[in-house]
């Protein structure tokens, strides 16, 4: 046994009445009532006691009750010297009772001191106080020594069992409080993760839609500066308007996705590819994807097509969706072409956002030029 075990107080939950079940509370009050009853009966059972003696005995009983309450409060606040002083006062009251002929109250007080010390004090101080209190009881006890020894050992074991029971109850309450705190933290973390997911969805939808609108509006601005034909300018404005309507539709789709109402990813890719004549190929055994993986595939496909419109207008694009055993791969390739007028437009955060989305899911994203164009490859668990 280490030194810390001898000087360590019982856990605060073991010393506090909070958390006690109703049966345990009832049992505790019954034991206290029995203790007080034995103390009163043994004090006032003598018929030859004068009136002043009865008044003094009642005063001593009240003093003992107040001292015990003081002791309970001091041990709860872990005040070592105050606890020892209150326990010493209780033992001294027993000595006074023994000296004035009240042998039974003295025995009750000394035995109570031993049990209270073993239950609520650090083990080193508790053992010392219990030995002194039970030693005093054994010295004045008039029973045969085997009976006295058995009673003394039994009282010591009873006090230690109460200590172990209080420690077990306190540790159980502490573990329960920690579990509740962990559950609350887990719920808060889940809520924050869900908020982050919603924020990513809204950001990706708006970023894609606004970026596409900016492409067409920037083209219209350049055409106006070059005094281009009005019909060409009108086409760009109409395209920007169409992208705004598409963005609204995508926002509604994102909200449906957050509610768990998503169309199959293959249908979405075909619908997305139909706008520009992109070819779509699907391989592997089709299956329903998790919401995060499905959204990642959709957003990467959107961003890749937006980049093609911006940097290589008119290029042929191929999208391949492959269902692997443990992951899903989306491969978007374009045939390349002359840079468009809008190559320099945009903030340049598209690939970064796609890579962050993939890494959050435990996947990866590779993007870069190839011999005949540009390729984007997404891998996510699914």
Q: By the 8 A CB rule, do 201 and 298 touch?
A: no
Q: Is 186 helix (H, G, I), strand (E, B) or coil?
A: helix
Q: What sign has the CA pseudo-torsion 233, 235, 239, 242?
A: positive
Element (H, E) at 30: helix 22-44
- What are φ and ψ of residue 331, in 5° steps? -120, 115
Element (H, E) at 334: strand 327-334
Whole-angstrom distance, CA of residue 186 vs CA of residue 146: 59
The domain made up of 263-382 has a fold known as Heat Shock Protein 90 (3.30.565)
Q: Taking the domains of the chain in order of start, what are their residue ranges?
A: 3-142, 263-382
pLDDT the model gives residue 346: 41
pLDDT the model gives residue 321: 92
Whole-angstrom distance, CA of residue 210 vs CA of residue 202: 12
122-138 per-position pLDDT tens digit: 888 889 988 998 888 88
pLDDT the model gives residue 218: 84
DSSP 345: -
Regions of the chain where pLDDT drops below 50:
340-349
Q: By the 8 A CB rule, do 346 and 329 touch?
A: no
Q: By the 8 A CB rule, do 337 and 315 touch?
A: yes
Q: Which single residue is written with the structure tokens 């360590």?
A: 8
Whole-angstrom distance, CA of residue 212 vs CA of residue 317: 17
Q: In what order do the strands lie in the sheet with 373-381?
A: 279-283, 317-323, 327-334, 373-381, 364-370
pLDDT the model gives residue 201: 67
Exposed/middle/buried for residue 100 (C-beta within 10 Å: 0-12, 13-18, 19+):
middle
Distance from chain centroid for Cα 24: 30
User: Nearest CA to 239 among 221, 262, 220?
Assistant: 220
User: Nearest CA to 204 among 297, 93, 316, 81?
Assistant: 297
Distance from chain centroid for Cα 144: 59
Whole-angstrom distance, CA of residue 244 vs CA of residue 212: 9
pLDDT the model gives residue 139: 87
């Amino acid at each position: 046994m280490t030194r810390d075990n001898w000087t360590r107080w019982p856990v605060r939950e073991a010393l506090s009445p909070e958390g006690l079940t109703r049966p345990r509370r009832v049992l505790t009050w019954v034991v206290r009532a029995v203790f007080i009853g034995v103390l009163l009966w043994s004090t006032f059972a003598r018929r030859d006691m004068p009136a002043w003696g009865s008044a003094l005995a009642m005063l001593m009983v009240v003093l003992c009750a107040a001292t015990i309450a003081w002791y309970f409060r001091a041990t709860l606040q872990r005040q070592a010297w105050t606890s020892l002083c209150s326990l010493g006062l209780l033992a001294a009251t027993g000595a006074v009772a023994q000296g004035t002929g009240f042998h039974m109250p003295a025995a009750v007080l000394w035995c109570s001191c031993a049990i209270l010390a073993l239950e609520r004090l650090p083990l080193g101080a508790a053992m010392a106080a219990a030995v002194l209190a039970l030693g005093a009881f054994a010295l004045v006890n008039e029973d045969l020594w085997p009976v006295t020894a058995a009673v003394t050992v039994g009282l010591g074991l009873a006090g230690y069992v109460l200590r172990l029971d209080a420690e077990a109850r306190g540790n159980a309450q502490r573990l329960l409080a920690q579990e509740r705190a962990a559950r609350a933290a887990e719920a808060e973390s889940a809520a924050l993760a869900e908020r982050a997911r919603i924020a990513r969805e809204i950001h990706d939808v708006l970023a894609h839609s606004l970026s596409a609108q900016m492409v067409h509006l920037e083209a219209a601005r350049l055409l106006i500066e070059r005094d281009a034909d009005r019909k060409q300018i009108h086409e760009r404005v109409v395209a920007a308007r169409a992208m705004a309507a598409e963005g609204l539709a995508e926002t509604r789709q994102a909200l449906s996705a957050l509610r768990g109402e998503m169309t199959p990813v293959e249908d979405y890719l075909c619908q997305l590819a139909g706008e520009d004549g992109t070819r779509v190929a699907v391989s592997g055994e089709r299956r329903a994807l998790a919401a995060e993986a499905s959204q990642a595939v959709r957003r990467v496909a959107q961003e890749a097509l937006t980049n093609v419109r911006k940097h290589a207008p008119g290029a042929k694009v191929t999208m391949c969706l492959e269902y692997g055993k443990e992951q899903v791969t989306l491969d978007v390739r374009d045939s390349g072409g002359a840079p468009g007028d809008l190559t320099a437009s945009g903030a340049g955060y598209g690939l970064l956002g796609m890579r962050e989305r993939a890494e959050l899911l435990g996947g990866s994203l590779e993007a870069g030029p190839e011999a005949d164009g540009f390729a984007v490859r997404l891998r996510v668990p699914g």
